[in-house]
Amino acid sequence: MCLPISCLKCIVEVEAIIILIVGLCSFGFTIYLQIQYSSYNENEQGDQGIGTVAIFWIISVAMILNGIIGIIGGKKKSSCLLFLFNMVNIVILLGFIALMILGYVLANEIQDFNQEEYCAGEPSLQQTWLLGQNLICSSNCPCYINNQQTIPPFYLPYSSSNSSDATKVQDCPQYKSWSDSQKAQAQFFRNIEKNQDCSGWCSPFSLKIFYDINSNLNQNTQQCTIEAQQSLVDTCQIIGDTSAALTGIMGLLVIFTFCLCCHPTRKDQKSYYERLAYQND
């Protein structure tokens, strides 16, 4: 039926330490997710990810605290703490199952994102992009280009070798009059141009106008909508895969606990509270 009770007891005794270690690893992964989300939070799809990140924060902290509770409960032989430890483990397992499903569902939804339909609606991000494209290297904002051969012809009349001139849209005097929403979107463009080595929102462009127009750009890179889409898909896939792995670990630990709880040698303990709290061990 189950493993020998001596093996089950050994596994369950180190379960709290395993939970604590897994919780710390999950906490580190959540920090990575938070950094990724912060880079894309001005994307019009970005709000889809905030719930996932929040759930990971909650589960990671819960695992760390629960691991500590389990360790203390084991040392003190506290029935109440051990019962609480096992109940929280079940909740954490359900949380990882939900995250696994959510990660894979979001990955599929973002993968199916229709860029042509999105851009046809003239989204605000595209409007901000065009505003910046028309501002930099214009009569209102001369720009410094260290390689004249890399810039579009219509930028040439307003480009110079004066290093004090603008090298990004944010250097232009007119940028100060932009709305807070437009400035936030400009920051988003800066981040994505830097991190994904792309330029242009709904169509490719040859300069990183929000990061640094003198920065080298891989001319084979597609526009930033496609690069952002693929990056988000990859992140959601990682969330799904990581949650699936953690679901497997937590599932095994919960199974071992219930095997110990329902072991034939414990038939005399009719209360499931007593069994889950390892009373009389």
Q: What b/e string do you get for 206-239 counting C-beta neighbours within 10 Å, with b at 16 or more?
A: ebbbbbbbbeebeeebbbbbbbbbebbbebbbbb
CA distance 94 to 88: 10
CA within 13 Å, CB half, 120:
4
- Predicted confidence pLDDT, tens digits, the chain (281 residues): 455 655 656 666 688 888 889 889 888 888 887 876 666 554 444 454 566 678 888 888 988 998 898 888 777 777 777 788 888 888 999 989 998 998 899 899 988 888 888 888 889 999 999 999 999 999 899 999 887 766 788 887 878 878 889 999 999 999 999 999 999 899 889 988 888 888 899 888 888 999 999 888 776 677 888 888 888 899 889 889 999 998 998 898 888 777 766 655 656 655 555 555 554 45
**CA R_g for the chain:** 27
The domain locations on the chain are 5-114+229-276, 122-224
Tokens matching residue 251: 């599932």
pLDDT tens per residue, range 53-68: 788 888 889 889 988 9
Q: Model pTM?
A: 0.70
